[in-house]
Structure 1
Amino acid sequence: MGDDLILEVGVALLIVALAAYLSGKMKFSIIPFLIILGMLVGPHAPVIGFIDLTFIQSDDMIHFLGRIGVLFLLFYLGLEFSVDKLVKSGKNIVKGGTLYVSLNFFLGLAYGFLIGMPLFESLIIGGMMAVSSTAIVAKVLVDLRRTGNKETELILGIILFDDLFLALFLSIMSGILMSDGSTGSTIISVLISIGYMLLFFVLAKKGVKVFNKFLSITSNESFIIVVFAGLFFVAGFSETLHVAEAIGALLFGLMLSETDHTERIEKMVLPFRDFFGAIFFFSFGLSIDPTMLGDAIWLALGAAVITVLSNFIAGMWAGRIADLSHRASSNIGLTIMARGEFTIIVVNLGLAAGLSPMLQPLSALYVLIMAILGPLAAKESGKIFRFLNKIFKWQKIDPNKKKKPRMQPPPTPTVDEPKNDEVKS
């Protein structure tokens, strides 16, 4: 049995490696590849005649490894998050972030009601559509060499604000969904979640000296053991308070974000985040029955259309508030459009609480669409802006302004040949 388990995990990791290879060759996000391959080889994989594509019969161990991936993803996010960074970023980022999150969340909530979902499911859909993928957005900025653009600071600020919303949303929703259903119990659970989060905020600000001294460990081996022990303990303890384990991981990262050891922790955690994070997306694909996707196609397409429109509008609005050009403002909405890891984490919270199973295929298709569409929209942002500019006339273009000709290299100087009479003389 043990040998079968090791072999099955080995097969799963080979498939994850194949997804990583394909995404690297195509220079595209790995997330869609992992989800699709998980669906194709999991327990719900199709059987075509004598061809059985089911490589993974039991996904319990892979699911557990995927849970570890969620902890590392949220822990790393907590390390990068800082209230001081948000405050120092300026009022433009607070305004733009509030606008972006509010527009996406409330449109998502309204869409949930429109398609006939109950209140809690609609709230999950609102959260699902409000959070962009930090990993994909960061990769797009680097790949397209836009880290030095004027709008990039605002993009990163909005992403940071979005991450703050995610922390608050998960904390409040975990309190609501993990209560026994009564009004009093729900209020107590929400207050515990918020109080638990505030406790870590206080520890992050007031306990810096203590954590700096405690983590002053020379040995890398001892250092990483101490950090990981704290991570898993806090995540597990959070569950006993009816706070999602993912939130516990995020709060533990937040607590260490102000210490002098942040860069060291990030450097050592990054390979674990990438490895276990990949297994998380693959395990999510394993849990999806492809035969259920047909019922969610139109729902996912509707959500994607709303996200594209709301992201572009919010990006344009936020950019103009910050006095950026129409072109730079359009880049904002087109760059932060991708959805990925955090959308799935939000939906998994709802599924764990026993909400509608339709959330799973809906979120899977939605993430697949947006994880592909987002990077493409960012890459073609120039063409998209020029097309829309012809319609809305945002920016005047001088028709007489032609492209500057390429600078030709100066001719190589040659030594004049002497004239005949000069030679004779």
Structure 2
Amino acid sequence: MVHVPHLIRDLALILGAAAVTTLLFKRLKQPLVLGYILAGLLVGPNLPLFPTITDQDTIRIWAEIGVIFLLFNLGLEFSIKKLAQVGGTAALTGIIEISGMMGLGYLTGQVLGWSTMDSIFLGGIVAISSTTIIFRAFDELGVKTQQFAGLVFGILIIEDLVAILLLVLLSTLAVTNQLFSPEMVMAVVKLVFFLVIWFLGGIFLIPSFLRTNRTFMSDETLLVIALALCLGMVILVTNVGFSPALGAFIMGSILAETLFAERIEHLLKPIRDLFGAVFFVSVGMLIDPAMLVRYAGPIALLTVVVILGKALYVTVGALVAGQPLKGALQTGMSLTQIGEFSFIIATLGVSLRVTSEFLYPIAVGVSALTAFTTPYLIRAAGPVSGWLEGRLSKRTRMILSSYSTGAQTIGSVSDWRLLIRAYLQNILVNMVVVVGIILLASRGLLPFLLREELGRPWAQALTGLVSLVLMLPFLWALALKPVSPPLYTHIWNEEKAYRGPLVVLNNGRIVLALGLILLYLNQLFSFTLMIGAIVLLLMIWWLIGRRIPFLYELIEKQFLVNLHARQLQEVARPGRNLLPWDAHLAYVDVVPESASVGKTLEELAVRERYGVNIVSIERGSITRLVPTRDDRLFPGDKLAVIGTDQQLEQFRTLVEANDTPGDAPGQEVSLERIMVDETFPYIGQTIRRSGIRERTQGLIVGIEREGRRLLNPDSSTVFLPGDVVWLAGNTRLIRDMQKQMRDQ
């Protein structure tokens, strides 16, 4: 008889149970995460009514891999530039919410009589909302294009970053058992240092490597390379002393800046879904139904604490940040749940054996209840805000409106503040790189050379020479590189009293660079040899010193190219960016219940009423490009529409469909930018007479002219030299026309 390993049997049981429960939850329009948890409960050891898995240790290993892939995918969606773009509103709101919920969670644990460690972990568990549940709820409710959704996504980015920090801090706290200790401070400093050095090194090396080998990047090769980079970073981070989840998140955020980010995310999705399912099933396996019944009271209490606490703190934070009352309430009531990061934090407490056995199932129970209530709370936010505004006095409403308007104005920043910020950025970046090279040389290169029996003096000399040569460009930037020359000159000439502080700033940089060199050389050599090393360093500077600024500029330029490559590609992508009007190409579905069904485009007057342009109608296997006013809408039609976020949201209410830009019906329709120059054959002609509509099956949706923006130009508009024309229509025909224009 052929023997089937226990792992295969267990996986068959897990995936079979997950398939049934997720189908059920899909029909009930509930988050699939809850279905996975229920599947884990059914096949776990605490519910003997159903078949139970036999090899729990192996399943836990698979669950750890699932955490790695979940965090890797989260990093791919994160992007360090998104953190810089979320703005002060999301950052301030997120900080107020997280601080308030951690304090409220801790106090609730103390009121329930729990231990200090249980209460601290509970604070971390209730502080982080669920990205997965919110994205799914927004998609199902069709509110992704509303203004408050952008603030919610920004807060989620802040929460993800804080959650990573919490994993490190809670791990350190579990080991030291002290809330405020030197080890905790060192853990934070160490985390910040390695985050910066990994990000700088990763952005400089990895995108360059991928771009150099892009011709060989088949889907299979790219997936293997991405997984290798992810697991390699996991090993590196673990050896340094951090959690594997942090390594996966870091590598994902690095790859998020590359041109391959979307492709990697697409290739990773099946693997992430598989291992993620195993992780959430393993979460359910740890649930003891008897424990849930026993602690039903704390679960109900914490559910109320999460819903009311998050709604209150997020709303207050958004109001303090200058948001209007309605938007603040909508944001607050959208974040009233806990999810995947809460599971990871609870799992950390279990694995480190510092939390009680009841905390984990309580966290899962609270997550299930709050996930269930999230869609209803999001839907109720509008009526609640209207009810609350009606109860407020006229004076209170005026104060809130005045504060919101004033908080969103742009304030001035002093020249000194800008200059000091530039100096601090220069010092931090270059000092971190120099220290990173020192650590790599002293802890990597030197031990390697000693193992090769090179002899300590020679190994030290070679290590010092290599590391100093590598450090020279960054030491020059740290000590001598001009920082914001125009601003520096302006402050220098503005008043003589400012010159002293400016000299101190420059001399301080030089002293810092010299101090780093002396400390490093003192670790490697005796005093006599250190003097020789300094002399050798001066000789190297004399030989190649003039080329060092040029070398640093090359390094800096390559880093910036890698950092902004994906953003530049997005801007250049056809149909993705209609800058003058913040409009874009999106796709909406016409549902059978829509009031637009059976009506012509002339009757609906979508351009006049909503300001959008319908570029195509896809009906089954037939696509009608640039429909006429006599075309009617039917159930199941997929419309390609161009407009701003606000226009699309208003138009969606007509057809009652969600904006799903990822479900494009192919590449037949695109939005192209055409310059009216000497190659343009229709200068002086009207749009109607040029015949562009018939030639390209296209629609001119906008013209930029001498700084003015003409949206939906009339057919009698004449093309003038210097115009920028935005043309939507058949991609192939537009490209053919552009090619003929270039060939003329």
Specify the TM-score bucket, using the shorter chain as the normaliser: 0.7 to 0.9
Partner of 1:272: 271
Q: Secondary structure in 2 aligned to 1:275?
A: helix
Aligned to 1:416: none
* Cα distance in 2, alignment partners of residues 185 and 158 from structure 1: 29
Contact persistence 1:86–1:160 (CA under 8 A):
yes
Query: What amino acid is the match of 1:36?
Result: L
Distance 1:380 1:361 in 2: 29
C-alpha distance in 1, partners of 2:187/2:175?
A: 8
Structure 1: gaps of 5 or more residues: 47-51, 397-405, 413-425
The change in CA–CA distance for 1:95 and 1:224 in structure 2 (over 3 A counts) is same
2:281 is aligned to 282
Structure 1 residues 117 and 190, CA, compared in 2 at 3 Å: closer, same or farther? farther
- Cα 1:208–1:245 change in 2 (3 A) is closer
In 2, distance between residues paired with 1:231 and 1:89?
A: 26
Aligned partner of residue 147 in structure 2, secondary structure: coil
2:14 touches 2:39 (CA, 8 Å); kept in 1?
Answer: no
Q: How far is 1:29 from its partner?
A: 0.3
Q: Against the structure 1 CA distance between its residues 88 and 179, is the aligned structure 2 distance closer, same or farther, given a 3 Å change threshold?
A: same
Aligned to 2:365: 365
Q: 2:168–2:187: 8 Å Cα contact kept in structure 1? A: no
| 1:179/1:189 contact within 8 Å kept | no
Aligned partner of residue 295 in structure 2, secondary structure: helix
Q: Per the alignment, do residues 221 and 208 of structure 1 end up closer, same or farther by CA in structure 2, a change over 3 Å counting?
A: closer
Match of 1:6 in 2: 8
Question: How many angstroms does 1:344 deviate by?
Answer: 0.1
Q: Secondary structure at the match of 2:101?
A: helix
The residue identity in structure 2 corresponding to 1:306 is: V
Map of 2:116 onto structure 1:
119
CA drift at 1:319: 3.5
Q: How far is the alpha carbon of 1:395 from its aligned partner?
A: 7.2
Taking a change above 3 Å as real, the CA distance of residues 2 and 181 of structure 1, as seen in their structure-2 partners, is farther
Aligned to 2:63: 66
Pair 227,21 (structure 1): closer, same or farther in 2 beyond 3 Å: same
Which residue of structure 2 lines up, in the alignment, with residue 291 of structure 1?
290
Offset, 1:295? 3.2
Q: Using the alignment, how far apart are the partners of 1:328 and 1:184 within structure 2?
A: 41
1:350/1:3 Cα in 2 relative to 1: closer, same or farther (>3 Å)? closer
Q: 1:114 to 1:201 in 2, by over 3 A?
A: farther
- Of 34, 37, 41, 2:36 maps to 34
Structure 2 alignment gaps of length 5 or more: 399-594, 604-744
Structure 1, 188-197 or 148-157: larger mean CA deviation: 188-197
| Pairing 1:213–2:215 present | no
Aligned partners of 2:58 and 2:212: how far apart in 1? 34
The residue type paired with residue 40 of structure 1 is L
Distance 2:238 2:46 in 1: 30
- Structure 2 length-normalised TM: 0.49
Code of the aligned partner of 1:93: A
Which amino acid in structure 1 is aligned with residue 381 of structure 2?
S
Pairing partner for 2:149 from 149, 152, 158: 152
Write the letter of the residue equivalent to 2:122: I
Please show how residues 19-418 of structure 1 align to structure 2 within 5 Å. Answer: 19-46=21-48, 52-178=49-175, 191-207=189-205, 209-213=207-211, 216=214, 217-355=216-354, 356-386=356-386
By how many angstroms is 1:252 displaced?
1.5
Cα distance in 2 for residues equivalent to 1:180 and 1:150: 43
Computing the radius of gyration from Cα coordinates, the structure with the larger value is: 2
* Cα 1:76/1:5, change in 2 over 3 Å: closer
**1:197-236 C-alpha deviation (Å, 9 max, x unpaired):** 3332333454465344366342211111111122123223
> Retained in 1: the 8 A contact 2:79–2:254?
no
Asked whether the 8 Å contact 2:308–2:336 carries over to 1, the reply is no
Bigger share in strand: 2
Please state how far the C-alpha of 1:189 moved relative to its aligned partner.
5.1
Separation in 2, partners of 1:244, 1:2: 34
The answer as to whether partners of 1:69 and 1:273 remain within 8 angstroms in 2 is yes
- Work out whether residues 21 and 38 of structure 2, in 8 Å CA contact, stay in contact via their aligned partners in 1: no
CA RMSD in angstroms comes to 2.9
> CA contact under 8 A between 1:235 and 1:245: conserved in structure 2?
yes
Structure 1 SS opposite 2:241: coil
Residues 203 and 100 (structure 1), Cα distance of their counterparts in 2 relative to 1, 3 Å cut: farther
Show CA shifts across 1:39-61 (max 9, x none): 13311114xxxxx3243243333
Q: Percent identity?
A: 26
Q: 1:44 to 1:209 in 2, by over 3 A?
A: closer
Label 1:177 to 1:255 Cα distance change in 2 as closer, same or farther (>3 A).
Answer: farther
1:108 & 1:215 partners in 2: Cα distance? 49
User: Structure 2: which amino acid aligns with 1:326?
Assistant: L
Q: Taking CA–CA contacts closer than 8 Å with sequence separation of 6 or more, which of the two structures ends up with the larger relative contact order? A: 1
Distance 2:177 2:321 in 1: 45
Deviation string for 1:237-281 (max 9, x for gaps)? 433333111111111112222222211111111222222212211
* 179 and 254 in structure 1: CA distance in 2 versus 1, 3 angstrom threshold: farther
State the AA in 2 paired with 1:105. Answer: M
Q: 1:332 to 1:184 in 2, by over 3 A?
A: closer
Measured at CA, do residues 204 and 109 of structure 1 come closer, stay the same or move farther in structure 2, by a change above 3 Å? farther
Query: How has the CA–CA distance of structure 1 residues 310 and 185 changed in structure 2, closer, same or farther, with 3 Å as cutoff?
Result: closer
